Copies of this chain bind each other. A is one copy, B any other.
């Protein structure tokens, strides 16, 4: 039997955006084995119904459990917002981490003017997951939510600089800026890719990348529960995707912020 500590961390995402989360996990836990599942055949989740997002998230989690992971990370903000409670009820035997709660806590600790902005996909924003989480921590903080559906498409198409994306940022975030938020939660795995433009268009507003808090939480959990991998060598990375198109490497490396090292395999979790 494998030593539980040496089992991999399982991460799933609707597509490749979750690699921004893998990037932060690798930074803090370089020796861990990671098994990533990107549901690239059915991405995006952010425009789908709650029911369908839950079904896809369930299938992804089952896939990772079959790979015998020691925990599951929901890298996708849409799945985290919509399916966390459902998955935690369904899979009580395994620790499940999501990208909403730590981001909200961090934002509450950061805001001085008690005004937090949250951006995400349509499904994430419609769930009000961040709003509820922030209000649980501090009722007095104002929360300004905004769905930014086209950001994902722009980023996946490499439209990450220039006039077009700047106009879109102003369109989506102009109102939050006028409402004088001082902290903005990047509630989608794609958004860290455009953080430079966001900083430029929203001067003085602090950005929260949920992947950072998630990685810290994960490290704390594994340390506390003596589940850190017993090895001083770099962990093995395995990437599973449900579709593999010609742009895979290019898009993956944009999200990962470097070379994609590890096995890449196409699978069908449906």
Contacts and interface: CB of A to CB of B under 8 A. Distances in A.
Interface of A: 40-42, 47-49, 51-52, 122, 126, 149-150, 153-154, 156-157, 159, 163-164, 167-168, 171, 242-247, 270
25 contacts: A40-B48, A41-B48, A42-B42, A47-B245, A48-B243, A48-B245, A49-B243, A49-B244, A51-B243, A52-B242, A52-B243, A122-B247, A126-B246, A149-B153, A150-B150, A150-B153, A150-B154, A150-B157, A150-B159, A163-B167, A164-B167, A164-B168, A164-B171, A167-B167, A270-B270
A159 B42 CA distance: 23
Quick one: copies of this chain in the complex? 2
A153 B122 CA distance: 13
A52 B15 CA distance: 15
A243 to B, nearest CB: 5
A171 B149 CA distance: 21
Contacts of A122: 247
A122 B243 CA distance: 15
Contact of A41 (B52, B243, B247): B52
A30 to B, nearest CB: 32
A168 B167 CA distance: 12
A61 B222 CA distance: 48
A124 to B, nearest CB: 13
A245 B164 contact: no
